[in-house]
Structure 1
Amino acid sequence: MFIRKVNGFAVLGLAGTLISAPLTHAATTVIPSTSFSSYSTFESYWAYLYPWGSDHNGSARMKGSSSDHSHIVVASNTLSLIATPTSNPSPPTSTANPHPAIHYARQAVNGWPPETDIAEWKGTANNWFNTFNTSSIVRSDLVSWPTDLSFHSLKAVLTAESNNADVKIQFYMDNVLKATQYGQGFVGKPMWLIVNLQMEGSSGSPGPTGTTTYKARNVVVTRSGS
């Protein structure tokens, strides 16, 4: 995964797929590594906007569709999310709480939480591993992110605990375990896998004055059990 920006934040998180107690069945591939191989393949596994619409809690608005790839680009098995400053958006503020003014256009539930962030950057060379049990009970582990502008790997392994209610989440960077967190009552909860590039919000203001690009490749989701 590659990120380059100032005061923007990018997230690859689960806010996707049902979590259940693992069985002894072989792993099933839910999203293959080829999902960014073409637009038709992309559209068979991913949607262009958030599950709830185009806006979230930052100043960027999702913009993309099967006929508009100016901000969501699939090429060379890589997904590129592109954010550009915009003026006179309509509506001028986000439709999502806390309703910040929209300053950017960019690409791209039953309830919240649960949420866990596998990859989140807030304009610095740190990746945030986060798990939200409530809006105020949050575990965050910050890990230094390499600044070599190369792709690096991130992985989360979610496993049901013996009480069949809570979930252990193990976070890896470049195949090294970096953090372990726990999601209370996460088992059986419907979740979305979301890849997004947001601006300002918790990263602070002002945001970038030019184009910002977030790239991801080899995204794979597997699960065991029924």
Structure 2
Amino acid sequence: MRVIPLAVVASLPLTSAVTLSRRASTLIPTSALDNTSVFEQYFVYNYPWGGDTHNGGARMNKAHVNIASPGVLTLTAQPVKGQPPATHGGKQIPINYLSGAVGAKQHFTVPTGGGFVFSGSFQATTTKGTWPAFWLTAVNGWPPEIDMAEWKGSGKISFNTFNTSSVLSWKDVTYSNPDKFHDISCEVKDVNGQDTQVKFYMDGALQATHVGKGYTGKPFYLVINLQMEGSSGSPGPTTNTTYSIKNLEVTTL
């Protein structure tokens, strides 16, 4: 391989055929979970579009989001009674839990020729009525949506990409040892200036590859939440449920 001295590279015209490799940059560092003060520089409480309910039986609040030990974020769902119902999709949903949700302050837009890697280690329950998730969803309208990891009380983990509410790709994988942390990584990368390739990994192994039609150039919210009941079934647990995350990081490709 021919090595070109830096002084020569600096003197080359912009039209030269020499191409310098792009370096990844860190958008959310693993240190973001070191303590609450650092965490709040990168994340907001509840859903990032505003509001404390979404499509399940939990109402989110700050009190149920905690960094008890440096580097580990824990969301706790607590059974409660007497909460007013939520409205989603024109329907009223009973609220049977108080729980936690957080969203990144930054939006993530896949650029032409670029992309992101979202990664972390997750300890997630698969008990009926529990619905932890690590996902991306559209800032403007819906879809797109990428469920980078979703557990819906079935003993499995789901990886989903929505092009419309009825046109989607998904992969369900048996989720062994839910009491242990598992490494989750999702690579989203522009493929043609319009569509985005989505690769899902668990514990270092590729689980699925999807294509998000028209995802390139559209901003996403990043959400981590412990929803309850809803698509995960009911009734849910009668005792507290926890969902923990560590080694969270977002980088560019």
Partner of 2:95: 102
| Residue of structure 2 in register with 1:210 after alignment | 239
Instruction: Mark the CA change 1:148 to 1:194 in structure 2 (over 3 Å): closer, same or farther.
Output: closer
Aligned residue for 2:112?
A: none
Offset from partner CA, 1:42-70 (integer Å, 9 cap, x none): 00011101023111000101111xxxxx3
Amino acid at match of 1:34: S
C-alpha RMSD of the superposition = 1.4
Which portions of structure 1, spanning 4 or more consecutive aligned residues, are displaced by more than 3 angstroms?
A: none
Confirm whether residue 220 of structure 1 aligns to residue 249 of structure 2.
yes
Q: SS of the residue aligned with 2:148?
A: strand
1:75-130 per-position Cα deviation (integer Å, ceiling 9, x unaligned) = 221000000011111xx111332431111111113211110011100113211000
User: Residues 183 and 202 of structure 2 are in contact (CA less than 8 Å); yes or no, is this contact kept in structure 1?
Assistant: yes
Q: CA deviation at 1:24?
A: 4.5
RCO higher in structure (CA 8 A, sep ≥6)? 1
Q: Within 5 A, what are the aligned runs for 1:38-117?
A: 38-51=35-48, 52-64=50-62, 70-74=63-67, 75-89=69-83, 92-97=84-89, 98-108=91-101, 109-117=139-147
Aligned with 1:127 (options 157, 166, 170): 157
Aligned to 1:10: none
The question of whether the paired residues in 1 share the 8 Å contact of 2:186 and 2:199 is answered with: yes
| CA-CA distance at 1:140 after TM superposition | 1.1
Q: Is the 8 A contact 1:58 1:199 kept in 2?
A: yes
Paired with 2:152 and 2:250, the residues of 1 have a C-alpha distance of: 24
SS at 2:180 equivalent: coil
Is the contact made by 1:57 and 1:99 (CA closer than 8 Å) also made in structure 2?
A: no
SS class of match (2:30): coil
The answer (yes or no) to whether the contact 2:154–2:232 under 8 Å persists in 1 is no
Number of matched pairs: 194
Q: TM-score, normalised by structure 2?
A: 0.74
Q: Compare the two structures and name the one with the higher helix fraction.
A: 2
Number of the residue aligned with 1:67: none
Percentage of pairs with the same residue: 45
Deviates more, 1:70-79 or 1:173-182: 70-79
Distance 1:181 1:55 in 2: 29
Structure 2 gaps, min length 5: 1-19, 102-138
Q: Say which SS state the counterpart of residue 56 (structure 1) adopts.
A: coil
> How many Å separate the matches in 2 of 1:76 and 1:33?
11
Contact 2:75 2:100 in 1 (8 A): yes
Give the letter aligned to residue 218 of structure 1.
N
Unaligned stretches of 5+ residues in structure 1: 1-22, 65-69
Higher strand proportion: 2
- Asked whether the 8 Å contact 2:182–2:203 carries over to 1, the reply is yes
Does residue 195 (structure 1) correspond to residue 224 (structure 2)? The answer is yes
Residue 148 of structure 1: CA displacement? 5.7
- The answer as to whether partners of 2:30 and 2:247 remain within 8 angstroms in 1 is yes
In structure 1, distance between residues paired with 2:81 and 2:99: 13
Give the letter aligned to residue 78 of structure 1: V
